[in-house]
Chains A and B, each alone.
Chain A
Amino acid sequence: MVTYLSDAGTRAALLDRLLEHVYLSLVPLVVSVVLAIVLGLLCHRFRPVNATLIALSNVLYTIPSLALFAIIPALIGTRVLDPVNVISALTLYTTALLVRPVAEALDAVPSHVTAAATAMGFRPWRRFLTVELPLAVPVLAAGVRVGSVSNISLVSVGALIGTGGLGTLFTDGFQQRYLAPIIVGIVLTLVLALVVDLLLVLLRNRLTPWVLVGKP
């Protein structure tokens, strides 16, 4: 283990893998937050959309990641080994995870709050962006935390179909019958998940100062 990590070339390669991993897991997270807000708003306004999206996301959820990574290129016509497949698949999963809580959080905004905003002269769009959406942030943040952990763990599977990231440490280690890269890969994945989770908690606290004020 020490000999493995003492090599400067190995450490540089590890950093590359780590950065790839961050890129592959966080791009879907950001894209799906935006998508989930748009779709959540649609669900909130139009009931039939809600039922359809929930049914769709339940089916999507049951499809294992390796299978989805392989079905995506067939659906959207990308190359089989393109990292875009993994990014699209994770975006689908995370969006499916987030839509429902966002819609429920928007439903839960008390009507007297929206009525007060309207009475103060807020137009619908401004009311949505500055009143309703911020009130949904705690619920959204809870979903984003689950999504980030599961994305960071799932990106590794992409190594089987040639996407980079820390998963390549597992395939390399297996082919060379060498445990050190596998252990390093597992530890780096867990640490990455933990660090991203802490950052998300900090970001949530920044975005929702009123929640902390309310606590004794």
Chain B
Amino acid sequence: MIFAEAFAWLVDPANWSGGKSIPVRVGVHLLFCVGAVLGAALVAVPLGLFVGHTGRGSVVLVGGSNALRALPTLGLVTFLYLITGGGTVGVLIALIVLAVPPILAGTYAGIQDVDRGVVDAARGMGMTGTQRLWRVEVPNALPLLIGGLRNAMLQVVATASVAAYVGIETLGRPLLDGVRVLDYAQFVGGAILIALLAVALDAVLAGVGRLVVPAGVRLSARAGRTRSSRMQSRRRKSPVPVESGGSPA
């Protein structure tokens, strides 16, 4: 039974100490993932806020982020690794490039999805553009923005595993070594670790989302979000549909 062997590999003390042990690889994996998502958020959140708030450049943004979905992660990683002359920088750039579209789409969709009536009311109360953005649009956009961050994190966790191929010591390493030497216990054990890490990180971000999203927004989001967003997009003058939902990574 392969799962029993994989479990034996997982709990083998030899795999829990030394420079190439499981904890070290989890650490490297996490470092790459958190670094890449933070880096991508620094670029994507301001850009998404700007485009969502002003409506300028939305066609380019939506078309661009949909096209980037088709980009093969392994191709991007090997390409950037070779042109940067090897090392971790190329891999980090690749991860950032892959994390930008989901965050951008989530931020933009979040701002776009805010009920026009609410924004108009804020304007009617005399709020300036900046006040509307920070005190009305951003809080209301938070659920979708966090959703974008979660999608980006999944993409990056998956790609960091793939990046083990170019020699980065992430959790993809045991899996790929397992294929090479036909050690199936290590192969499946590595896969289980990657899956667990992805599920755990996603749960952490979901928890963060629960903490930062204002209670009022959470309540209105729960009350039939699909129906209201559909009606809103029909009311809007020039709706550019954006696919803010995640796709497997």
Q: Give the CA-CA distance A67 to B191 in the complex, in Å.
A: 4
Which residues does B use to contact A, with CB under 8 Å?
2-3, 6, 66-67, 69-76, 78-79, 81-83, 154, 157-158, 161-162, 165-166, 172, 175-176, 178-179, 182, 184, 187-188, 190-192, 194-195, 198-199, 202, 226, 243, 245-249
> How many Å from the CB of A46 to the closest CB on chain B?
20
Q: How far is the CA of A177 from the CA of B79 in the complex (A)?
A: 10
User: Which residues of chain A come closer than 8 Å to B248, judged between CB atoms?
Assistant: 60-61, 65, 93, 96-97, 150, 154
**B-binding residues in A (CB < 8 A):** 59-71, 73-74, 80-81, 93, 96-97, 104, 146-147, 149-150, 152-154, 156-157, 159-162, 166-167, 169-171, 173-174, 177, 179, 182-183, 185-186, 189-190, 193-194
- Nearest Cβ on chain A to B97's Cβ, whole angstroms: 12
Given A64-B198, A66-B162, A71-B192, A150-B83 contact (CB < 8 Å): no
Select A64's contact among B67, B76, B176, B194, beta carbons within 8 Å: B194
A94 to chain B, nearest CB (A): 8
Q: A159-B74, A161-B179, A193-B70 are in contact. Are A183 and B79 (CB under 8 A)?
A: yes
In the complex, are the beta carbons of B69 and A150 less than 8 A apart?
yes
Residues of A within 8 A of B190 (CB): 67, 70
Separation of A82 and B188 alpha carbons in the complex (Å)? 15
Minimum CB distance partner of A89 in chain B: B248
Contact B79 A156 (CB under 8 A): no
A186-B198 contact, Cβ under 8 Å, with A74-B6, A153-B70: no
Contact check, B176 vs A71: say whether CB atoms are below 8 A apart.
Answer: no
Which residue of chain B has its CB nearest to the CB of A193? B70
Q: Is the CB of A166 within 8 A of B72?
A: yes
With contact pairs A74-B6, A160-B165 given, residues A190 and B70 touching in the complex (Cβ less than 8 Å): yes
Could you list 5 further interchain pairs (A-B, Cβ under 8 angstroms) beyond the known A67-B161, A153-B72, A156-B75?
Answer: A61-B248, A80-B182, A160-B179, A171-B74, A174-B166
